[in-house]
Amino acid sequence: MFNDPPNASELLLTVREYIEQLLPDLERQDKYHGLCCTYLLDVVMRELEEPPNIGDHSNNALKALFNNEDELSETEFMSSLCASIRRGDQDGNLDRLLILLTSHVSKKVRVSNPDYLDAKDYL
């Protein structure tokens, strides 16, 4: 469904710009909270720009590698995967696992803090 302008990203950008205008006049803690708000708005705007299934490929590939027939949540699955790695159960899959986990993490970092890494170098 198409909405009339402004769209959600444009509305968030307007809020971000307003907060940026306030920042120079804010005291220390309020300025810190304002900076946190602009960071969070940036994350939300990037999430809106990404296709909703951005992590599906790496998630599905990870689950397929481990025959995850159970309908575990992502958090439960990742906890189970971490425990399996710590036990040494995945030592034979480390090369494939490294590729899948690097892709998985880089997609998340591309949304949360794209300046932290250049995601194209890891995909």
Query: What does pTM read for this prediction?
Result: 0.64
Burial class (CB within 10 angstroms; exposed 0-12, middle 13-18, buried 19+) of 10: exposed
DSSP output for 33-60: HHHHHHHHHHHHHHHHHS-TTTTHHHHH
Tens of pLDDT, residues 22-36: 999 999 999 999 999
The CA distances from residue 53 to 17, 57, 59, in Å, are 29, 8, 10
Structure tokens at 35: 């900076």
Q: What tens-digit pLDDT sequence spans the chain (123 residues)?
A: 566 788 888 899 999 999 999 999 999 999 999 999 999 999 999 888 876 665 566 677 777 777 665 677 778 888 888 898 999 988 988 898 888 888 888 888 888 888 877 645 555
